[in-house]
Amino acid sequence: MTRPTAEETPALPNRTWRAKLAPSRWVDVLLGTRPDIGAEIDGAHAPGYADRLAREIGAEHALVTARMTWTLSLQGFLFTAFALAMNVGATAASDDRLDTLLCVLPIAGLVTATLGLVGMGAAFVRINALKRIWHANSIAFEQTGPRPFSTTFGGFVGRLPPVAISLALIGCWSALLWPAAP
């Protein structure tokens, strides 16, 4: 049995949109940026698109805030549990369950801090994609009001605290998991 050629096989209707996308657009599709919103926008539709971009950028900033809050809350519980386990370990005889707990808590802290950093990084990637759409249509958007994001330096400084805090947490848990040799 021979395999049919592309000309002999009809295109499936639900897959035809894939052929219209260039390979470079797959990143935009995976990130959730809609390729159609970056198209040429005329002056009549610019306020609606600008408002939509501003709302999406605001939603991503809210996600960063929520992810940072959850990360810090969970880290607080894990550090407290680790400190309590260390106090019990200092006053009681060695127990296999306690030793396991003292190993598992830093691993859990390391994993959650890393996942929080990755989640915030995903929001930052999405914000960058939305900024690129804004800059591509800045002439049409300039009459709609101020842009909904800061300058490049301001964006870097604004992203620094969640990234630095997450990296500090990863460093703390790593130091607890792999203590320095005496």
**Per-residue pLDDT reduced to its tens digit, 132-152:** 877 777 655 666 666 667 777
Predicted confidence band at 155 (pLDDT cuts at 50, 70, 90)?
confident
Residue in the block written with tokens 């539709």: 45
Q: How many CA atoms lie within 13 A of 101 on its CB side?
A: 17
**Per-residue pLDDT reduced to its tens digit, 111-140:** 999 999 999 999 999 888 888 877 777 655
Written as six digits, the tokens of 91 are: 């006053």
Which pTM does this prediction carry? 0.68
Written as six digits, the tokens of 87 are: 């106090």
